[in-house]
Amino acid sequence: MAEHRTMQRQALLDAARSLLSEGGTEALTFPALAERTGLARSSVYEYFRSRAAVVEALCAADFPVWAAEVEAAMEAARTPEAKIEAYVRTQLDLVGDRRHRAVVAISAGELDAGAREKIRAAHGALVSLVVAALAALGHSEPRLTAMLLQGIVDAAVRRIDLGAAEPPTDIVTAAVTMALRGVTP
């Protein structure tokens, strides 16, 4: 019985990823989850009390995997500059990944305070990955610089997700250049 419930919960999370990836937050509804999984709508409520709870579960499952990919890319880099580039590039390369698209599709306003805090903590852990590389480059405020660097990444993610006029590769290159050189051409 517990294994069956675990499989159903996983099927609901997979369906939620697909719905968010395909249609954004508007697409994530309990009737759509029920239809995608073949479960009764009332069964969906047995697993999740709200859309925010679905999103919180997705973040708990997917964010650590995503952060591990960023961390692995950074560990493979040899210099502080290469680590920073890996930090930026890996996050932006993951934009097309269903797990990432699902997390990005959610606006923080739809989540309760507990879910927002969990996501903030996960983002904080991600940002902390780059602090040492920034300190090695001589930044006097590496934590602040890391948070601002994440702002560049977040802006590039939004630009890619919006289907901007520029090709995603150009957005990635611009973000990496800005991260490494600032606004100096």
pLDDT tens-digit map of 133-151:
999 999 999 999 999 999 9
pLDDT band at 50 (very low <50, low <70, confident <90, very high): confident
On the question of pLDDT at 29 being above 70, the answer is: yes
Query: CA-to-CA distance for 73 and 23, rounded, in angstroms?
Result: 30
Q: What does the pLDDT read at residue 169?
A: 92
pLDDT band at 185 (very low <50, low <70, confident <90, very high): low
Using CB atoms within 10 Å of the CB of residue 49, give its burial: 0 to 12 exposed, 13 to 18 middle, 19+ buried.
exposed
Q: How many beta carbons lie within 10 A of that of residue 148, not counting itself? A: 13
- CA dihedral angle for residue 163, residue 168, residue 171, residue 176, rounded to 10 degrees: 140
On whether the pTM is more than 0.75, the answer is yes
Q: What does the pLDDT read at residue 106?
A: 57
Q: What does the pLDDT read at residue 64?
A: 82
Q: Above pLDDT 90, what percent of the chain? A: 45
Q: Answer for the pair 17, 99: CB distance below 8 angstroms, yes or no.
A: yes
Q: What does the pLDDT read at residue 100?
A: 63
Q: What does the pLDDT read at residue 27?
A: 85
pLDDT band at 53 (very low <50, low <70, confident <90, very high): confident
pLDDT digits (tens, 9 = 90+) for 54-110: 888 887 888 888 889 999 999 999 999 999 999 999 999 887 665 666 566 555 455
Q: What does the pLDDT read at residue 51?
A: 84
pLDDT digits (tens, 9 = 90+) for 149-161: 999 998 998 888 7
Considering the chain, what is the average pLDDT of its residues? 85
